[in-house]
Amino acid sequence: DTGVSQNPRHKITKRGQNVTFRCDPISEHNRLYWYRQTLGQGPEFLTYFQNEAQLEKSRLLSDRFSAERPKGSFSTLEIQRTEQGDSAMYLCASSLHTSGPANEKLFFGSGTQLSVL
Amino acid sequence: QKEVEQNSGPLSVPEGAIASLNCTYSDRGSQSFFWYRQYSGKSPELIMSIYSNGDKEDGRFTAQLNKASQYVSLLIRDSQPSDSATYLCAVRGSARQLTFGSGTQLTVLP
């Protein structure tokens, strides 16, 4: 399978616990994005990487959220001290960015559904 | 004002009809526009991209862009029940990340 892979598919946790999600992008893609989606809404940008560098974080992103992309390959998203409001689908997307027109296309993984009890 | 706005629907059309989905955006510097399809419980799937004013056709899908009016639309011809999904409009503006609308739920009735 050469698509974007996310693990786990589902995560149920208790409020206050820490959780970590993993994303493996399409192998030749140099950019990796994290989005969050709640029911009835479109995906909301969280952060993105170009290779191993984290280039942008949403102003709405709490300090409890941290993401890494060591060696520019897979990425992890950690949420510390989870809250019920963190319940959502966490989507990872990857793209191949080259210089030139801004026609970069994002391809999404299947997502990790987080439920905080 | 939301950065990307879509009619939430639901929009229902009979099988074989043309479904028309609309999207407006607020950032005049936006350069890239995308339509994603999302089936219930699944992740968004890219179906169309458009970068220049005018129409772009791909099979039964036509994307239309009017930058002066800050408007982008998606037409689905000969709609099929399998087209029933939520359609997300996404715009890349001055910021580098894609901004999504909240989606329009489409139901194609057999």
Higher pLDDT, B1 or A90: A90
Q: B98 vs A48: CB contact, 8 Å cut-off?
A: no
Among A33, A103, A110, the residue with its CB nearest the CB of B97 is A33
Nearest CA in chain A to B34: A105
Task: Specify the higher pLDDT residue, B98 or B8.
Answer: B98
Confidence of residue A66 (pLDDT cuts 50, 70, 90): very high
Torsion angles phi and psi, residue B17, rounded to 5: -85, 175
Residue of A51 and B95 predicted with greater confidence: A51
Mean pLDDT of chain A, nearest integer: 92
Residue A98 in contact with partner chain B when CB distance is under 8 A? no
Could you tell me which residues come within 8 angstroms of residue A99 by beta carbon, excluding any fewer than 6 positions away?
none
Which chain B residues are closer than 8 Å to A111 by Cβ? 43
Residues of A with Cβ-Cβ distance to B90 under 8 angstroms: 42, 106
Instruction: Report chain B's mean pLDDT, rounded to a whole number.
Output: 93
Query: What stretches of chain B adopt beta strand conformation (E)?
Result: 4-6, 11-14, 19-25, 32-38, 45-50, 54-58, 61-66, 71-76, 85-92, 98-100, 104-109
Contact (CB, 8 A) for B61 and B76: yes
Residue (of A106, A109, A38, A34) closest to B42 by Cα position: A109
Alpha helices by DSSP H, B3-107 = none
Q: Do A40 and B102 touch (CB under 8 A)?
A: yes
Q: Which tens digits make up the pLDDT trace of B56-105?
A: 999 999 999 999 999 999 999 999 999 999 999 999 987 678 899 999 99
Predicted pLDDT at A102? 59
User: DSSP label at B29?
Assistant: T
Residues of A in contact with B95 (CB under 8 A): 56
pLDDT at residue B9 in the model: 79
- pLDDT score, position A89: 97
Q: Give residue ranges of B with CB < 8 Å to any A CB.
A: 4, 8, 31-32, 34, 36, 42-46, 49, 51, 88, 90, 92, 95-103
Phi, psi of A69 (to 5 degrees): -145, 75
pLDDT band for position A72 (cuts 50, 70, 90): confident
Q: Does A101 touch chain B (CB under 8 A)?
A: yes
Which residues from chain B sit within 8 angstroms of residue A59, using beta carbons?
A: none
Buried b (16+ CB within 10 A) or exposed e, A48-72: bbbeeeeebebeebeeebbbebeeb
